[in-house]
C-alpha cells in the first residue's frame, strides 16, 4: 500500500520531563507552543529534530540525571549528523534556570538553555539557534507575563485529568529549597485566565482539574475590578464549570491553610477529599532552622480542622530526614508526628545540600549513613499507614474516574477520590467517566474492584452565583 507523502515541513519534537507536576504542565505547554512551528511530538528521542529535557533541580540526584540523559541524547545527535540530519538539544526547567550558561560548558552539544519563566519564547529561541548555529541562553525573569504570551491551549482530545498552573514561585525561602531561586518570586495568574483555560480543557474532555502552585494556597489573583481572589474563591468558581466533576490543588503550606479554604472540604462536593500538606519535620528546632515559620503543633491544629471539615480526608505530606543538625531526638519527633498524622501517603527525602541555599552552608551536616537509616525507618512507618488507609477501602463503593488502560488486557485504570489507582475489568469506552466501583482488594500501591456499570456517578452541579 502506498505510504502518504511525508510533509517535508513536519519536524519531530521529543520532550523528556523530570520532576514535579508543574514541569509536566510546562512540557505540555511547550509542545503546544511549538506545534504552530510544525513540530509534532514523538516518543522516540533518536528520531527527533528537537529534543527538550525539562529538568528538576530540587535535589542533587534529580539534577545529575540531566547530565546522564544529555550523554544519551548527544550520541543520538552524533548518529543523526552522520546521516546528514541535524538535532537541536534544549535544556529547559529548573536546572536550566540554576546553571544557565554552565550547562553548555559541561555539555557542549546543548543548543538552547531556557528557564521556566522564558519558555513562551521557545519558538524564537529555536529559530535563533538554527539561524546562528550558536548556543542561546534565556534565563532572565522577563517582565512580561509568560502565560499571556503562550498560545491558547490547543484543541484536541484531553486526558480525563488535567493540570493547570495557577500560581508559581515562592517567597517563603525555606533554607533547604531552591524553588525561590529557580521559579522566582510568588506570582498568581488572573482568575479570568484560569477559568477560561479550565473551561477549554473541560470542553476537550477533561473531567478533573488539579490546580498547581509551589505555594498554591497562597494564591491571590486579581479579579477584573482588581478585587483579590483567594484559592477558595477560585475553586468555588471552577466548581461551576459543568464538565469539570473533580477539583484538586497542590502543593500547600500549613501557614496558608485559612478557614475559608478548610471549610471548602465540607461545602464543595467537587473538591476531592485529598490534601497534600508538607510538614518536612516534626521537630520545632529543625522547623525553625528550616525557616518553615510554623511549629509541629500548628501543623497538627490545621489537620485537626481539616479532619473536622472532612473526616474521610486522605492526608499526604513531604518529609525531609537528615537536615543539618538533626539529632536522633529531632528525628524521633518526626516519627511521632508522622504516626499521629495518620497519613494516606507521604513523600520522604534525604536532605540534599543545594548550591546557593542557606542550609547548604550550615554546620553539622548529617552523615549519609544516618540519613539512610532514618529514611528507612520513616518509610516503613509510612508504608504501614498507607496500607492501613488502602485496606480500609475494602468493602466500600467509591466513585472512580477512569483515565486509561489497565495493566492487563481487558482492564481499565482510574483514580478514587483519595487519589488511589483503581483497577477494574471494563472497556475503554468508560475512560473519562466516573463510575461506582465496589472495592474488593488492596495491593501495595493500588486497589482492585468491580465496576457497577450502567450509570454514571454525577457529583451534584453547583448553581451559578
Ligand atoms: N533536600 C531534600 N528534599 C528537599 N525538598 C526540597 N528541597 C529539598 C532538599 N534540598 C523536598 C521538600 C519539598 C519537596 C518538593 O521536596 O520536602 O516539599
Ligand atoms: Fe520551597 Fe515550598 Fe519552602 Fe517555598 S514553601 S521555599 S517551594 S519548600
pLDDT digits (tens, 9 = 90+) for 414-460: 999 999 999 999 999 999 999 999 999 999 899 999 998 655 555 44
Residue ranges for the chain with pLDDT beneath 50: 1-5, 459-465
pLDDT (0 to 100) of residue 156: 74
| Nearest CA-CA partner of 160 in 206, 99, 211, 97 | 206
Ligand 2 pocket: which of 98, 171, 174, 319 to mutate (most atoms <8 Å of CB)? 174
Q: Closest-lying ligand to the alpha carbon of 281?
A: 1
List residues near ligand 1 (CB under 6 A).
58-59, 176-177, 278, 280, 318, 320, 349, 351-352, 354
320 within ligand 2 shell (Cβ under 6 A): no
Strands of 330-378 (E only): list them.
Answer: 345-350
Question: 179 CA distance to ligand 2 centroid (A)?
Answer: 6
Ligand 1 pocket: which of 98, 176, 252, 321 to mutate (most atoms <8 Å of CB)? 176
CA 216 to chain centre: 11
CA 124 to chain centre: 27
pLDDT (0 to 100) of residue 8: 54
| Nearest CA-CA partner of 109 in 140, 81, 84 | 81
Kindly list the distances between the CA atom of residue 209 and the CA atoms of 150, 195, 217, in Å, as whole numbers in the listed order: 20, 11, 15
173 within ligand 2 shell (Cβ under 6 A): yes
Question: 59 CA distance to ligand 1 centroid (A)?
Answer: 7
319 within ligand 2 shell (Cβ under 6 A): no
pLDDT (0 to 100) of residue 233: 98
Say if residues 178 and 98 touch (Cβ distance below 8 Å).
yes
The verdict on whether omega for the bond into residue 251 sits within 30 degrees of 0, i.e. cis, is yes
Say if residues 394 and 437 touch (Cβ distance below 8 Å).
no
Say if residues 93 and 55 touch (Cβ distance below 8 Å).
yes
Q: How far apart are CA 349 and CA 186, in angstroms?
A: 24
59-63's contacts with Cβ under 8 Å and 24+ in sequence apart are: 59/349, 59/352, 59/354, 60/352, 60/353, 60/354, 61/352, 62/18, 62/19, 63/95, 63/98
Question: 118 CA distance to ligand 1 centroid (A)?
Answer: 24
Question: 172 CA distance to ligand 2 centroid (A)?
Answer: 6
Q: Would you give the DSSP letter of residue 280?
A: B
Residue nearest to atom 3 of ligand 2 (CA): 174
Ligand 2 pocket: which of 116, 167, 179 to mutate (most atoms <8 Å of CB)? 179
Reading the block at residue 91, the C-alpha cell is 535544556
Amino acid at each position: 500500500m502506498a505510504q502518504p507523502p511525508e510533509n517535508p515541513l513536519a519536524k519531530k519534537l521529543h520532550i523528556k520531563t523530570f520532576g514535579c507536576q508543574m514541569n509536566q504542565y510546562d512540557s505540555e505547554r511547550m509542545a503546544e507552543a511549538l506545534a504552530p512551528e510544525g513540530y509534532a511530538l514523538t516518543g522516540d528521542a533518536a528520531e527527533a529534530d528537537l529534543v527538550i529535557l525539562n529538568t528538576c533541580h530540587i535535589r542533587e540526584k534529580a539534577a545529575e540525571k540531566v547530565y546522564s540523559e544529555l550523554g544519551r541524547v548527544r550520541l543520538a545527535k552524533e548518529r543523526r549528523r552522520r546521516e546528514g540530519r541535524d538535532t537541536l538539544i534544549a535544556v529547559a526547567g529548573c536546572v536550566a534556570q540554576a546553571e544557565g550558561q554552565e550547562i553548555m560548558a559541561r555539555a557542549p552539544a546543548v543548543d538552547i538553555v531556557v528557564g521556566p519563566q522564558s519558555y513562551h519564547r521557545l519558538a524564537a529561541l529555536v529559530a535563533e539557534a538554527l539561524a546562528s548555529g550558536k548556543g542561546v541562553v534565556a534565563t532572565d525573569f522577563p517582565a512580561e507575563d509568560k502565560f499571556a504570551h503562550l498560545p491558547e491551549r490547543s484543541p484536541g482530545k484531553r486526558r480525563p485529568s488535567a493540570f493547570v498552573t495557577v500560581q508559581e514561585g515562592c517567597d517563603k525561602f525555606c533554607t533547604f529549597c531552591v524553588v525561590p531561586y529557580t521559579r522566582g518570586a510568588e506570582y498568581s495568574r488572573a482568575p479570568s485566565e484560569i477559568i477560561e483555560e479550565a473551561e477549554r480543557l473541560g470542553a476537550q474532555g477533561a473531567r478533573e482539574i488539579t490546580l498547581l502552585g509551589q505555594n498554591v494556597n497562597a494564591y491571590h489573583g486579581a479579579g477584573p475590578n482588581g478585587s483579590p481572589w483567594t484559592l477558595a474563591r477560585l475553586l468555588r468558581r471552577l466548581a461551576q464549570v459543568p464538565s469539570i466533576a473533580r477539583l484538586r490543588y497542590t502543593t500547600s503550606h500549613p501557614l496558608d491553610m485559612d478557614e475559608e479554604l478548610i471549610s471548602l472540604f465540607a461545602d464543595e462536593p467537587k473538591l476531592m477529599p485529598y490534601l497534600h500538606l508538607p510538614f518536612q519535620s516534626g521537630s520545632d528546632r529543625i522547623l525553625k532552622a528550616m525557616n518553615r515559620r510554623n511549629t509541629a503543633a500548628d501543623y497538627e491544629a490545621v489537620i485537626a480542622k481539616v479532619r473536622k471539615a472532612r473526616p474521610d480526608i486522605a492526608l499526604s505530606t513531604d518529609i525531609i530526614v537528615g537536615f543539618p543538625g538533626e539529632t536522633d531526638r529531632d528525628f524521633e519527633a518526626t516519627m511521632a508526628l508522622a504516626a499521629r498524622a495518620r497519613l494516606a501517603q507521604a513523600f520522604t527525602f534525604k536532605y540534599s545540600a543545594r548550591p546557593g541555599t542557606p542550609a547548604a552552608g550550615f554546620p553539622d551536616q548529617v552523615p549519609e549513613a544516618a540519613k539512610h537509616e532514618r529514611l528507612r525507618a520513616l518509610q516503613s512507618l509510612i508504608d504501614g499507614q498507607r496500607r492501613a488507609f488502602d485496606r480500609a477501602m475494602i468493602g466500600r463503593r467509591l466513585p472512580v474516574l477512569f483515565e486509561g488502560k489497565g495493566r492487563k488486557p481487558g482492564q481499565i485504570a482510574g483514580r478514587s477520590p483519595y487519589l488511589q489507582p483503581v483497577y477494574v475489568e471494563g472497556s475503554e469506552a468508560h475512560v473519562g467517566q466516573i463510575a461506582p466501583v465496589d472495592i474488593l482488594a488492596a495491593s501495595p500501591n493500588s486497589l482492585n474492584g468491580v465496576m457497577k456499570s450502567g450509570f454514571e456517578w454525577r457529583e451534584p452541579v453547583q448553581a451559578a452565583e
